[in-house]
Amino acid sequence: MASDWINTPFEALTSSELYCLLQLRQDIFVLEQACFYRDLDNFDAQSWHMRYVEDNQPLAYQRCLPPGLAYAESSLGRIAVPAAARGAGLGRELVQRGIEFNQGQWPDAGIAIGAQAYLRDFYASLGFVAKGHPYLEDGIFHVHMRLSRG
C-alpha cells in the first residue's frame, strides 16, 4: 500500500488529483454536512494543497492559504478527513503539518481560521484561540480562531 504526505501549489496538481480533492470536499462539506454552499471560491489557485494519500485516495486534506487571501494572516481551510479515516489521528497531524508549513512559508503572518464551532476544542488543543462570537456561515456555526503560539 503506497502512502505519502504531499503539499503542492495548485498549478502542480494533476487533473486526477484535483478531481479527487474536490470530490472529497463535496462528500464531506456538501453531502455529509448537508450544506449547500459555493465550494469553488477562487482561493484554490492561490493556495497550497496538503494531503495524505493512500493508494491514490486522499485520506486527509487542507488548503494552506497565503496572507491577504482569506484573512490578513495566512490560513488553513477546507480541512477534511473522510469518515472512514477518522479516529486515527490524521486530522491532528494534518493541522500540525499545516501550521508548520504556514509558519515556514509566511513566518511573520500568523495563522487565522474560520473553524466550525463544534471543532473549537480540537483547534484550541493545537494552540488556536477563539476571537469573537460564533457566527453562522452557510448554515453552520463557525468561530474565528488565531494561533496563539509562534
pLDDT single digits (tens) 16-26: 999 999 999 99
Bridge partners (DSSP) of residue 135 are: 142
Q: Report which listed range, 2-11, 34-43, 110-119, is most confident.
A: 110-119
Q: For the chain, how are helix, strand and coil distributed in percent, rounded to 5? A: 35, 35, 30
Question: Residue 58 and residue 85: Cα distance in Å, rounded?
Answer: 10
Q: What is the pLDDT of residue 149?
A: 57
Q: What is the pLDDT of residue 34?
A: 86
- Averaged pLDDT score across all residues of the chain: 95
DSSP string, 66-129: PTTTSSSSEEEEEEE--GGGTTSSHHHHHHHHHHHHHHHHSTTT-EEEEEEGGGHHHHHTTTEE
Q: What is the pLDDT of residue 17?
A: 96
Question: Mind listing the domains of the chain with CATH numbers?
Answer: 3-147 (3.40.630.30)
Q: Is-contact 70 43, C-beta < 8 A?
A: yes
H-helix or E-strand spanning residue 144: strand 140-147
pLDDT single digits (tens) 111-149: 999 999 999 999 999 999 999 999 999 999 999 999 975
The pTM of this model reads 0.94
Q: Does residue 104 carry a pLDDT above 90? A: yes
Q: Does residue 150 carry a pLDDT above 60? A: no
Q: Does residue 1 carry a pLDDT above 70? A: no
Q: What is the pLDDT of residue 124?
A: 97
